[in-house]
Amino acid sequence: MNYTTLRDDELMERVCARDLAAFEHLYDRYGDLVHSVVMRVVGDRYVAEDVAQDVFLRVWRKPEQFDLDRGKFTTWLLSIARNRSIDERRSRGRRLRHEAMPSPAEEEDPLLSVSDDTEDPATASVVADDQRAVRAALAVLPPEQRMAIQLAYFGGMTQQEIANQLGQPLGTVKTRIRLGMQKMRGALEPHYMVEGS
């Protein structure tokens, strides 16, 4: 069996049948990507490894929870990684390193580095196109919209918490998030239409 030619959903079918080799191939494809996402949220190497391990073991233990009709495998996997990371971050609260908490100044760094040079080599062949498209879509947003969206996604903050942190009215934050997300969706639609065709 040549697993490298199988799509993600085909590998997941085999994972449902307890095929450890298929699971290993999924790890090889997305291990670095999941670790990157978790590290971005929790900011601690040891914690990130534990969380990333939990994410993959959840895939292994409950593969039937993946439903292709509801979205792509990467959407499911990265949602687990993000949500599990946010849970860990909340449970640890202030013990996490301060630099893990996105601040208005820090938010600029990853966004300004929205370029191919931060691309993860290990996942390049799998999600490189998506990565480029998403980073480009995010990069063209006004900075205040990017910041609000990233504080929500990577910081796990509610709109009210973001408003408090930025010292902006709640209504302003709501507008920034809504407009920013709509622009991103508009920018990404052509990419995914081409990909899906």
Partner 1 sequence: MPIDCDAARENIDAFALGALDADEAPALEQHLQTCIACARELRAARETAASLALTAPAVPAAAALKARVMASAAVLSTRPRRRPSWNYWAVAAAALAVLAAGGVTWGALMQRHASDLSGQTAIAQAQATQSSQQLASLVSWQRGMLEVSSQADLRTTPMAGTVLAPSASGQYFWSSTKQEGAFFATGMPPLPAGKDYTFWFIYGDKWENAGTATVTGDQARLIVHVDEDEEAGAAPKGFAVTIEPAAGAQERSGPMVLQSATRS
Measured between alpha carbons, how far is 172 from 176 in angstroms, rounded to an integer?
A: 6
Considering the complex, what minimum distance in angstroms separates the CB of residue 5 from partner 1? 21
| Of 58 and 168, CB closest to partner 1 | 58
Q: How many CB atoms lie within 10 A of CB 159?
A: 18
Helix H or strand E encompassing 59: helix 45-61
Exposure letters 46-65 (e unless 16+ CB within 10 A, then b): ebbeebbebbbeebeeebee
Residue 177's Cα: distance from chain center in Å? 17
Q: How far apart are CA 40 and CA 106, in angstroms?
A: 12
Q: How far is the CB of 134 from partner 1 (least distance, A)?
A: 5
Compute the least distance from the CB of residue 12 to partner 1, in Å. 14
- Sequence-distant (≥ 6) Cβ neighbours of residue 27 within 8 angstroms: 56
Q: How far is the CB of 142 from partner 1 (least distance, A)?
A: 15
Rounded to a whole number of angstroms, the minimum distance from the CB of residue 51 to partner 1 is 11
Closest to partner 1 by CB, 6 vs 86, is 86
Q: Smaller CB distance to partner 1: residue 13 or 32?
A: 32
